[in-house]
Amino acid sequence: MHVSSVVADGTLAAVYGVTKPSALHSLESFHAVTSLPPDCMHDVLEGLIALVLKVCLRGLIAGKIVTVQT
């Protein structure tokens, strides 16, 4: 939405922080949501890894693959 707005009205570039569509947008096999590398801020500092690890451990314990003591 922001890129479309800036393309329509270039004065909005300062408002949204974008100046034009990304060159990556033209690539057929690239999508900004699925093709970018992991983000340490969200994965580590905001606790996503801890949440995923908790779910995995609960599954392993429920499946009797590991015990709580292990």
For 7-56, how does the pLDDT look when each residue is reduced to its tens digit (9 = 90+)?
A: 999 999 999 999 988 888 888 888 877 888 877 887 788 888 888 899 99
Q: How far apart are CA 24 and CA 68, in angstroms?
A: 46
Q: Can you give the pTM of this predicted structure?
A: 0.43
Element (H, E) at 36: none
**Of 5, 24, 23, residue with least CA distance to 15:** 5
For 25-39, how does the pLDDT look when each residue is reduced to its tens digit (9 = 90+)?
A: 888 888 877 888 877
Q: What is the residue type of 50?
A: A
Instruction: Identify the DSSP state of 22.
Output: -
Q: What is the residue type of 10?
A: G
